[in-house]
Every structure is written in C-alpha cells, then in structure tokens.
Amino acid sequence: MEESEGRLSKLVAVIACIAMTLFYVSILYAPTLILRLPPPQSYENFMIRRFICAAVWSVASVIFCAFVLPITGGEASYSFGVYGIRSDHFWQAIVFPLFLTSLMYAGSLIFKSMLLVNKWKEHRHQEGEPLLGCIKSTLLSLPVQMSSVTSNVLFWRNFIVAPVTEELVFRACMIPLLLCGGFKAYNVIFLCPTFFSLAHLNHMMEIYSRHNYSLLKASLVVGLQLGYTVIFGSYASFLFIRTGWWSIC
C-alpha cells in the first residue's frame, strides 16, 4: 500500500481515528448504559453482547471510512483494495508474513512441541505403547478436543471476533485514513498502534474493580499489555503497508 496524495488534512485523519477508537470501546458498554438492557445472566451472554457490539461498530467504521476517504474508483475491487482486501498476490501476502510472524513465536512453538514430545514419551513409557500409537491416539482425540475448544466463548473472543474486528477497525480503516492525511508510512507504523493500545485502557478499571488488584498492580498489568500491543501493532501495520493485506495482520 503506497502513501496517498494527502487529500485529507492530518487533523481530520487523527480526529477520525480517535473517534473510531472511542466508539469501539464505548459501544461495548452500550447494552447496559445506553440501551438499559438487564445484566447478562451468564458470562457467555455477556461476551455475545460484546461480540455483537464489536461487529456493529466494525461495519460502521468501514461505512464511515468510505465516506471520509477520497475513494474515486467505482469498482468494488478498488473499494475493497483500499481496506487491504485484495485478490492479487494472494499467496505471497499470506505465506511470507505468516512465516515472519511464526519466527516471532518460534521459541514458544518449539517449547510447546517439546512438551508434546515429552508427553508422548511419558505415555509410551507408562502404557508401553509405541510412538506411532501415541500419535494415532492423539489424532483420534483431536476432534473431541477441537469441539471442546470451539464451544468455549473465550476461543471465539481471542481467535475470531477480537482479531477480525480489531484489525478491521485499527488497521484496515485507520491506516488508509492516516496515509490519506499525508502522514509518512514510517509515522503511520507507530501512530496506528498507539490508537490501538489506547483502546485497552479500559481494561485497567476492569482489572482494578473486578479482580481487586491494587492500582499499581493493575497499572503494571495494563502497561505491559499496552507495550505489547504497540510492538506487535507496529509490526502488523508494517505488514499491512508493505502488502496491502489486512487479513494477515
């Protein structure tokens, strides 16, 4: 994705990004504070409400950007391309960033693999079952484990809803706005994750009130989270700008 000609002013681009950040967080509390709905009866119902709110604002952000951005092309492919949704260079945009991202987590992946191998060895030693038998039993139990995981609402929050909505709003919508506002690419790489990290400040009050943490401990927890979101967000923004693909961020 190349830098735009800067038809938007920088002030308008920044205000638009701040507004999207505030509304993304605020809408999560809309069912209780604005719609006056009764408190959810379970944690799953609570998360489903948040899923719906995040999805609604993600769609609204795309529509909002469509009016704000100086999109001149009338074709649908061009409009989707502004948000990084493209069909050209598909495999390059998927494989290369995926490989780079896996390098970031290589230590964790190797550690998990070693734990799995050790588990197989212990099972083989206790049951006297050959290694291939352990692998076969693991593969046979995989559908049951996957069913258990996918039925957990946290799985949908951590791996589906949050990544898709956050990347759509904070990457696919904000980066074109900032580039059209005349910001340089290297400025956008660090500016966009700043908005993303600020969207996590509400977690400090939730941790402080719900988990009975001290203000200092809650600040340290959220501060670590903000630091991580800035670092990874900068990397994801770099991938978006270099490839124009939001789906791999």
Express each pLDDT in 27-73 by its tens digit: 988 888 888 888 888 889 999 999 999 999 999 999 998 888 877 65
Helices (H) and strands (E) in the chain, counts: 13, 0
Tokens in use for 245? 């693909």
**What's the rounded Cα separation, in Å, for the pair 247 and 207?**
30
The whole-number pLDDT of residue 248 equals 40
Q: Round the average pLDDT of the chain to a whole number and report it.
A: 81
How many beta carbons lie within 10 A of that of residue 92, not counting itself? 11
Q: Identity (one letter) of the amino acid at 81?
A: G
Asked if the structure places residue 234 within a domain, the reply is: yes
Mean pLDDT of 143-148: 78
What CA–CA distances, in Å, run from 18 to 11, 178, 195?
Answer: 11, 11, 7
For the question of residue 200 being annotated catalytic, the response is yes
Inside any domain, residue 5: no
Question: In this predicted structure, what is the pLDDT of residue 178?
Answer: 92
Q: What is the pLDDT of residue 218?
A: 78
CA dist list (Å): 134 to 3, 111, 114, 127, 244: 53, 19, 15, 10, 43
Q: Domain total for the chain?
A: 1
| 239: its two tokens | 């991938």
Q: How far is CA 58 from CA 2, 132, 168, 237, 247, in A?
A: 24, 46, 7, 18, 14
Exposure string over 5-24, b if 16+ CB within 10 A, otherwise e: eeebeeeebbebbeebbebb
* pLDDT, mean of residues 223-243: 87
Catalytic status, residue 203: no
Residue 232 maps to a domain: yes
Q: Is residue 23 part of a domain?
A: yes
Give Cα separations from 25 to 122, 203, 247 (angstroms): 46, 10, 22
**What pLDDT is attached to residue 19?**
93
Range of the domain at 211: 10-137+153-243
For the beta carbon of residue 237, count every other beta carbon within 10 angstroms. Answer: 24
In this predicted structure, the answer to whether residue 192 has a pLDDT above a threshold of 60 is yes
Pull the structure tokens for residue 201. Answer: 């400040």
- Map residue 214 onto helix, strand or coil: coil
Let me know if residue 143 belongs to a domain. Answer: no
Q: Is the residue at 248 inside a domain?
A: no
DSSP annotation of 172: I
Q: Which residues, other chains included, contact 61 with Cβ-Cβ below 8 Å and sequence gap of 6+?
A: 20, 24, 168, 169, 173
Q: Which residue out of 200, 203, 206, 211 is catalytically annotated?
A: 200
Q: Does the pLDDT value for residue 13 go beyond 50?
A: yes
Residue 238 lies in a domain: yes
Residue 32 counted as domain residue: yes
**Of these residues, 122, 166, 167, 203, which one is catalytic?**
166
**Residue 229 · residue 193 · CB < 8 Å:** yes
